[in-house]
Structure 1
Amino acid sequence: MGIRERHTRDRPPPGRGLARGKPPGTARPRSGGYGARAGAHGGRTGGARLPGRRARGGSTPVIATAEGLLDGVRRWLAERGAEPTPAKVALAVREQGGVLGDSEVLRFTHLLRRELIGAGPLEPLLADPDVTDVLVSAPDQVWVERGGGLELSDVRFADATAVRRLAQRLAAAAGRRLDDAQPWADARLPDGTRLHAVLPPVAVGSACLSLRVVRPRAFTLVELTAAKKIPPGGNAVLRALVAARLSFLVSGGTGTGKTTLLSALLGLAGPAERLVLAEDSAELRPAHPHVVRLETRPANQEGAGRVTLQDLVRQALRMRPDRLVVGEVRGAEVVHLLAALNTGHEGGSCTVHANTASDVPARLEALGTAAGLDRAALHSQVAAALSVVLHLVRDRAGRRRIAEIRVLARDTAGFVVTVPALRWGEHAFVREEGWPRLKELLRERGQEIAS
């Protein structure tokens, strides 16, 4: 006799267990949850014993473990094609486990919702407002970034299979394939969280997950200054930079806060300006009333339908942007961006990976020449298109901050170099040799900075 038949016949009388409808006190899921369908696999929930009824004619509980209950609920939802709403999950728990008290149903409803449509044991970490990154290296190695360097969390998975199941379910929720034939995936989850996952044997020992949390609201310059990411006095310079509509580039290493700073600066653009953003993964969230966001797309299983960042930049130019923004320049799109900034699209910006501010010209040169632009032409384009570089670092304490502001100039050979204008000193910005040039650029566009 199947499970469904047994529990249909043995259904408890009205009043026992939890009533239909939304369970009272059930926590609402996070906005834009991962939406995996009922048949998706979640992580293991351990082997905790559940209160349950004994099957007729036997002494074994119908559902003896949390894992068994989870599997039964998956089957129940899949058979009915039901979404894992609170009411449906509560009903499935009641039917799979026989007679359960209200508190037990609520507890397992929360567990199952987290396993079926959330991020499983990672859910509390992703909900933490201070967490920016969650990294899973092994079942017992879940690391988090809270702005002060990586920390090993207390979260643990049952085994490597549980990590693999969660990785595949999150990838499926984002519409990406992740299996033995395609052992890695890079995607944006419905709530904006950026996912990267790699399966064994490419990832040795266990599946690896990297989750970058995108907050729904961008930080303001005031907040970044209060958090000591911008030095005293830097706020006025950055505001003048945006108001002057100078084209600028934000550089830095991985995880230095480039996207955070760029989002804050874009929020300072005039409310009548149209911002068109082209990104590999939509992470920029400027607090601005007129934003158009474009995102790349990988090819489908037949190899068709791919949309590159280069494609997006070309399309963005046809959308009447007042400011053209590229989330991160990493390939041939640099040619189209430089061309756009040289043809009247002032105030544009982008980010680029570079270890130091002085490395930025070499980084752009490498990208441009790989796209077929010769060195001399590339440097001419950069010199005419970009004015300022904002370089960010992560210091020894793990704090992310602006290290310096530089202006672009050409050396005696005609190649672009970056000249220090402001450097974060002991307490505030310290003026360097490029400061007069930065002041001149701002003054030419009606922005005065106190000497």
Structure 2
Amino acid sequence: MNKKIKVPLEWAKIRDLVFQALDLELIENLKQDPHKVNREILSIIRNIISIGNAYISLDESNALASMICDEIIGYGPLDSLMNDHSINDILVNGPFNIYVEKEGSLIKTNKFFISDRQLLDIARRLVNKIGKNLDEAHPLVDSRLPDGSRLNVVIPPITIDGVSLSIRKFGAGNRTFSELINFGTLDESMANFLVIAARCRMNIIVSGGTGAGKTTMLNVLSQFINDNERTITLEDAAELRLQQDHVVRMETRAGGEDGRGKVTMRNLLINALRMRPDRIILGECRGEEAFEMLQAMNTGHNGSMSTLHANTARDALSRLESMVLMAQSELPLNAIRRYISSSINFIIQISRLPDGQRKVTSITEVVGIESDQIVTHDIFKFKIHEERDTNSKIQGSFVFNGLVRRSALYDAAQYYKLAEILEDLMMKAGGVTK
């Protein structure tokens, strides 16, 4: 929808009068029956019109009553968007500009809030539900909704054009490699390779940009963790959905205005190392905790995984170097690189292409270090073709470059009795191992 949304001025006035007249206790008792709530609101609207405080048509009265009902019971105009499983992100830029991300593309919807006041009231109620405040002293809130969706709210004067509200929806269920293959995110050989890597307890970094699908990939990989392994997950906002029984989930905490009660990712990671984990899964590595994460990967917690923001596998390694320096500035760079090369086995690079498609653009092995430089090898690579399909979608193919003979995966596959399967897979992928 491109034309500008115009809401009658009377709607905002009537909404405020409705909330002044509402019997909140009655509404609370009626919440289980939206039809009764709607009738009560409609009755109040008609009364407001009858005494001459404002006037709107019968059709407008019904539409306004429905919007106020949605606001009281749920997310207001966002209700239907929250229930649409094809939508990944909901982005609100003021009351009349609501966008969604669907199939990799941003689309403006025909949804709207009645006024700035309604948008702010709904944002505050969402934030209050999770035990936080939204006001001039707390104009920025980043947290998790009860259903697991990530919520970010910014209000004026930080935002210039009204309240900004962003929701990264929590998926209705775990994706599988079969689904990702059907979506064209990767091919069967790559999926089977990653299954073996996960089962053989390789240390894996999933790298990519915002919205590329890093957490989705981490969730899929976690499905191949053995049930008898103790796994600890550490996140800023809980999005991982491990199906195993023996899982301990932990989440960071912002703390009060004076910083008391704050629990950082580094705090969680240091504590997790004392909890006898078999594997540690870090939702996102973004700072000083990188050093402890590498320490965990290097001291017997094989099969640990994390995501980080980077555009290529090489960029991911550079970011790790920078993050370790944040925590251990006295360490020389060559020592940090040796530490990284001995800790990480594979980097899965995921990208969201300009046309919205999500692709695993490379699966890279960290082979070792030579002349103080980390040596990597792209096992799989997505090669973009020049021609587009009939819908102007980017075309390409997944290319197998072979697995180096000195790969740590070979030894692990022997131990886990998956060596023959790995050899067969490599042969079927169309290349001879190097």
Same fold (TM over 0.5): yes
More strand per residue:
2
Aligned-pair distance for 1:441?
5.3
> 1:181-235 CA deviation, whole Å, 9 max, x = no partner?
2211101011111111111121111111111001142111111111111223222
- SS of residue paired to 1:264: helix
Q: Map residues 355-370 of structure 1 onto 2, 5 A cutoff.
A: 355-370=311-326
- Work out whether 1:77 is the aligned partner of 2:27: no
Mapped partners of 1:290, 1:378: distance in 2: 33
* AA partner of residue 257 (structure 1): G
Mapped partners of 1:447, 1:414: distance in 2: 33
1:419 to 1:388, Cα distance in 2 relative to 1, 3 A: same
Mapped partners of 1:84, 1:347: distance in 2: 51
Q: Map residues 333-372 of structure 1 onto 2, 5 A cutoff.
A: 333-372=289-328
User: May I ask how many residue pairs the two structures share in their alignment?
Assistant: 390
- Work out whether 1:164 is the aligned partner of 2:120: yes
1:92 to 1:154, Cα distance in 2 relative to 1, 3 A: closer
- Work out whether 1:396 is the aligned partner of 2:382: no
Q: Which runs of 5+ in 2 are unaligned?
A: 1-6, 48-59, 386-395, 428-434
- Work out whether 1:266 is the aligned partner of 2:240: no
Mapped partners of 2:42, 2:118: distance in 1: 25
Aligned-pair distance for 1:91?
8.6
* AA partner of residue 86 (structure 1): Q
Q: Map residues 89-104 of structure 1 onto 2, 5 A cutoff.
A: 89=37, 93=41, 96=44
Mapped partners of 2:397, 2:162: distance in 1: 46
Sequence identity (%): 31
> 1:102-161 CA deviation, whole Å, 9 max, x = no partner?
xx9998886445212421111111111011111112322211111222111111223333
- Work out whether 1:324 is the aligned partner of 2:280: yes
1:48 to 1:81, Cα distance in 2 relative to 1, 3 A: closer
- SS of residue paired to 1:132: strand
1:83 to 1:339, Cα distance in 2 relative to 1, 3 A: farther
Aligned match of 2:398 = 429
- SS of residue paired to 1:271: coil
Mapped partners of 1:140, 1:117: distance in 2: 21
Mapped partners of 2:318, 2:28: distance in 1: 55
Answer yes or no: is the 8 Å Cα contact 1:394–1:401 preserved in 2.
yes
Mapped partners of 1:120, 1:437: distance in 2: 58
TM norm structure 2: 0.81
TM norm structure 1: 0.78
Aligned match of 2:96 = 140
Q: Map residues 52-67 of structure 1 onto 2, 5 A cutoff.
A: 65-67=14-16
Aligned match of 1:244 = 200
1:84 to 1:274, Cα distance in 2 relative to 1, 3 A: farther
- SS of residue paired to 1:236: helix
Aligned match of 1:192 = 148
Aligned-pair distance for 1:94?
8.0
1:208 to 1:316, Cα distance in 2 relative to 1, 3 A: same
> 1:265-289 CA deviation, whole Å, 9 max, x = no partner?
1012122222210001111113333
Q: Map residues 20-39 of structure 1 onto 2, 5 A cutoff.
A: none
* AA partner of residue 354 (structure 1): A
Aligned match of 1:228 = 184
More helix per residue:
2
